[in-house]
Structures are given as structure tokens and as C-alpha cells.
């Protein structure tokens, strides 16, 4: 099984991608302001971005730089103070519950803390069955649903037979986070927002989670937005990096350019704060 973690070589991004990909999520002047008057906090300040199909983008910044607020706005969990969001070429419309649900079929997220991401009263089976139902599989025969779930569990190297009839808290952190990815595999959204998916699990399981994300991108052509404060991780997984400081994107570009030749002082500072192996820290 040691070769299982082999990364497919063909999904390695090239510097200048010859085929222009379609933009699937973009925003102009996206702003989020908390509070008002003298207590006003601008969490995200007129951010422009566009994510192409099948791309892996990292948003990097320290705590309080507005990364998670941006993700929440993209998911439609908090309102956007100002600016426009476009999803699949059209202006995003999530004013009604039904439209919001339809939007969530196209965009899904994995959060930082797998321990609090599950409903502790529900068994794992029901978590996964919900996903099958959301994809319109409600009327499929039970055997077919189980087959789909087993396939998804197999995708993340979990065995459905070992999970069935268990509660989420009976799993380890790494297993829970992998189950989160199995959900994504079942839902097959266009865009996956991964908000620090590896910060609560140890370095060893981290490699597995990253592999799974790379696999989702390679096999499903999913767009993945990876939020992290660890430049090393961001550099390893993504094609493009966006560096965020105090709600503003201060630098963006191809991963190699940003890491090996940083321009903005903030990027340089972030880079110097990461412990390295070859140079003194």
C-alpha cells in the first residue's frame, strides 16, 4: 500500500497553462465590515479574485487576516457588506433557502476542526446517506446507495464495514477529516473550500489528507481553495497563491514565483517565520 500515496504526475501544474480554463467563482470588491461607527472592523477589504476550473488556489495569511471571513462569505454563511460574487458566470443569488441549497450543491467546505463538524447524535451512515440524497439519489435502491457510500469510503482509504453503525466521536481526528473528504467525494461539488483542513491533525495524517485533496482535484477536476497559515503546505499543494494581510490581498501569483521570489514585505516576513531545514531560523 505504500504506492497508494503516489501523486499522479500529470496533475502537476505547469507555469503557463496553455488551455485557458473557465472561471467558476469570482468576486469584485468583496468587502465585509463588522460593527459600525468607532467599533467598525473591516475584515475583508475590497478583495478581487477569480478562481478557474480545476485550479488549486491557496489563501495564506496569519490569524485575523480575514481568510475565514472570506470563506464564510463565499459559502453564503455570512452576508457580504459590499461587492459582487459570480458563480459559474452568473451573479450569485442565494436569497431564498431553495436557491441557497442549490448553490451548496456546487460549493462545499471542509473546516478546521473535524471534532465539531459532525452532529454527535447522528451515526456516520446517516451523514453519508444525506450526501447521497442531496445529490438526488433519494429514490435509488438501498443497495445502490450503500455501494456509492462504500466507494466514497474506499476513496479515502476507509472501510465502510468498519464505520457502519458507529458515531463520529468513535473515530480519530484524521479519520473524521477523511470522512469529511468522503462526503465531498459523494457530493461532487464544483468548488471545495478547505479551511485549514490539516491544522488540527498531526503531521503524519496531514500527508494523507493532502493526498486525498490532490486526488479529488486530479480525478474530479474540482476547484480547490485551500486556506492555511502554513506557506510550506500552500506551496506544496497549490498552483496559485494569494497572500492576505489585514483583509487585503497583498500579493498573488504562481506558487513558484511567490515562494521563490517574494515581492511584498509581508510575504517575505511570513516566509522567514516558517521553520526551515536548510537555512538557520
Neighbours of 18 (CB within 10 A): 5
The x, y and z cell numbers of residue 39, run together, are 467599533
Least gap, CB of 281 to another protein (angstroms): 4
Whole-number Å distance between alpha carbons of 219 and 222: 8
Q: Which residue, 121 or 281, is less far from another protein as judged by CB?
A: 281
Q: Which residue, 174 or 247, is less far from another protein as judged by CB?
A: 174
Q: Which residue, 108 or 208, is less far from another protein as judged by CB?
A: 208
Least gap, CB of 114 to another protein (angstroms): 12
Least gap, CB of 202 to another protein (angstroms): 4
Q: Which residue, 145 or 215, is less far from another protein as judged by CB?
A: 215
- In this structure, the strands spanning 107-110 and 223-228 are unpaired
Least gap, CB of 277 to another protein (angstroms): 6
Q: Which residue, 143 or 279, is less far from another protein as judged by CB?
A: 279
DSSP code per residue over 26-39: EEEEEEEEES-GGG
Q: Are 241 and 252 in contact (CB under 8 A)?
A: yes
Long-range contact list for 114-118, CB < 8 A, 24+ apart?
114/173, 114/176, 114/177, 114/179, 114/180, 114/200, 114/201, 115/169, 115/173, 115/176, 115/200, 117/176, 117/180, 118/168, 118/169, 118/176
Q: Are 194 and 110 in contact (CB under 8 A)?
A: yes
The x, y and z cell numbers of residue 72, run together, are 464564510
Least gap, CB of 63 to another protein (angstroms): 5
Least gap, CB of 24 to another protein (angstroms): 24
Give the contacts of 231 (CB within 8 A, at least 6 positions apart). Answer: 60, 259, 270, 271, 274
Q: Which residue, 7 or 21, is less far from another protein as judged by CB?
A: 7
Least gap, CB of 175 to another protein (angstroms): 9
Q: Which residue, 29 or 232, is less far from another protein as judged by CB?
A: 232
Q: Are 241 and 253 in contact (CB under 8 A)?
A: yes
Q: Are 52 and 225 in contact (CB under 8 A)?
A: no
Contacting positions for another protein (CB under 8 A): 1-2, 4-7, 12, 62-63, 172-174, 201-208, 210-211, 229-236, 255-256, 259-260, 269-271, 273-278, 280-281
Amino acid at each position: 500500500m505504500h504506492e497508494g500515496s503516489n501523486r499522479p504526475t500529470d496533475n502537476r501544474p505547469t507555469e503557463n497553462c496553455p488551455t485557458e480554463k473557465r472561471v467558476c467563482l469570482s468576486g469584485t470588491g468583496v468587502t465585509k465590515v463588522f460593527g459600525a461607527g468607532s467599533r467598525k472592523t473591516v475584515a475583508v477589504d475590497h478583495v478581487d479574485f477569480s478562481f478557474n476550473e480545476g485550479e488549486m488556489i491557496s489563501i495564506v495569511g496569519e490569524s485575523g487576516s480575514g481568510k475565514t471571513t472570506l470563506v464564510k462569505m463565499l459559502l453564503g454563511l455570512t452576508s457580504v457588506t459590499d461587492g459582487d460574487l459570480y458563480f459559474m458566470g452568473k451573479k450569485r443569488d442565494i436569497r431564498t433557502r431553495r436557491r441557497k441549497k442549490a448553490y451548496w450543491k456546487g460549493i462545499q467546505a471542509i473546516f478546521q476542526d473535524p471534532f465539531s463538524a459532525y452532529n454527535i447524535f447522528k451515526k456516520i451512515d446517516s451523514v453519508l446517506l444525506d450526501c447521497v440524497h442531496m445529490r438526488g439519489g433519494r429514490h435509488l435502491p438501498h443497495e445502490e446507495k450503500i455501494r456509492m457510500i462504500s466507494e466514497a469510503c474506499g476513496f479515502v482509504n476507509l472501510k465502510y464495514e468498519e464505520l457502519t453503525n458507529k458515531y463520529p466521536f468513535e473515530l480519530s481526528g484524521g479519520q473524521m477529516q477523511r470522512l469529511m473528504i468522503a462526503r465531498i467525494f459523494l457530493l461532487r461539488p464544483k468548488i471545495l473550500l478547505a479551511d485549514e483542513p490539516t491544522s488540527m491533525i498531526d503531521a503524519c495524517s496531514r500527508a494523507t489528507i493532502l493526498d486525498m485533496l490532490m486526488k479529488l482535484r486530479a480525478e474530479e477536476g474540482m476547484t480547490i481553495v485551500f486556506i492555511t497559515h502554513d506557506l510550506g503546505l500552500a506551496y506544496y499543494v497549490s498552483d496559485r497563491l494569494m497572500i492576505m494581510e489585514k483583509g487585503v490581498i497583498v500579493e498573488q501569483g504562481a506558487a513558484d514565483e511567490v515562494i521563490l521570489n517574494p515581492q511584498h514585505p509581508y510575504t517575505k516576513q511570513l516566509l522567514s517565520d516558517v521553520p526551515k531545514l536548510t537555512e538557520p531560523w
